[in-house]
A and B are shown apart, each in its own frame.
Chain A
Amino acid sequence: MAGSQNQEENPVAINVVPMVDVIFCLCVFFMCSFKFKQIEGKFDSWLPRDKGLGDPNSLPNTLEELRVALFWDEKTSTVNRVLGSRRVKDDEELQKYIREGKADWERAGKPDTPVTIDGHKHVPWHEIVTVMNLCKRENIDTIEFAFGGGQ
């Protein structure tokens, strides 16, 4: 057992058994309470802007901004995304449209393309973050939120 040292060889031996016990307990406590931190990052964003559109058929087709509208389908619990007046199937297509929109803006002499995200209140948050992520992939920094989208 721990600490059973020859008293004749070392007359001032310390009994380390209680210390080992305490360290074991502390180790178990910290091991149980330990949690690996998730690596987090952030997106800077802008404050809400104007009113939401609400209706997918009423979306304007102007070059005032790149507006990504996200509609919530209650029946299928899925999200339908529309950029301008074009329905988007997947992330790749949305990124392609964003890239094209940005190129249009740059041709018009406006390098800072603003993207407004207009989501329905039931749209899952990760869908909004996905759109922000796609914008960042295309080096778009001006991302704004629409107020009261699809209420």
Chain B
Amino acid sequence: MSERFKPPDTEESVACNLIPMIDIMFLLLLFFMLGADMSAKELEDVELPKADMVKEDEDTTVEGGPKRTNVNVFHVHNAKGYTCEVKEGGGVCRDMTHWAIAIRANHFTIETLGPELAELASLDPEESTGGPKGGKPLSRREIMIRGDRNAPYGYIQGVIEQCAAAGLYKIAVSAARPEGS
């Protein structure tokens, strides 16, 4: 057979260039790694109430500054796989045993929350000792209450009362900005 009519070489490699794909994969990996929240579960999965006037949440955990603690109030139905017919039906669950308080993924009740808050308050005492009339010592630690939008107010009120009892007076309420605002 003449060389002019030589059939194509079937052994010829058809390697695809992988470099651009690897570059994109690296970028994707970097994006997801940086976006992933690998810290201690400070924020529970809470459906926050919506409010358009909330001010931007600044990071108060600066070096040497007052610290902040997030107190999550949420329905345990979401967290522990319980079934709550009221919640499932889109209603407002008022069974107090279905609601829980969590600080750094540790669960508390209103009764057990007091000692924890007292301990947190003692970590960041105010410069001056005691209140205006020499009362209990105050703490400069800020408490951010992240309550589920349907949580009973009485339950969150209990949290606020425990904060007051522990000398934590800097209370902030967390809310989500409505989409598009």
Contacts and interface: CB of A to CB of B under 8 A. Distances in A.
Interface of A: 2-6, 16, 19-20, 23-24, 26-27, 30-31, 33-35, 37-48, 70, 77, 119-130, 132-133, 136-137, 145, 147-149, 151
A30 B33 contact: yes
Contact of B176 (A40, A119, A148): A40
B50 A126 contact: yes
Nearest to B46: A38
Given A6-B15, A42-B57, A125 B176 contact: no
Contact of B29 (A23, A40, A77, A136): A23
Contacts, number: 161
Contacts of A42: 54-55, 57, 144, 172-175
Interface size class of B (residues with CB under 8 A): 35 or more
SS of B interface (majority): mixed
A118 B104 CA distance: 30
A124 B150 contact: yes
Contact of B28 (A6, A27, A47, A125): A27
A20 B19 CA distance: 10
Contacts of B144: 42
Given A43-B173, A123-B153, A30 B13 contact: no
B160 interface: yes
B117 interface: no
Given A41-B51, A43-B175, A130-B49, A145 B18 contact: no
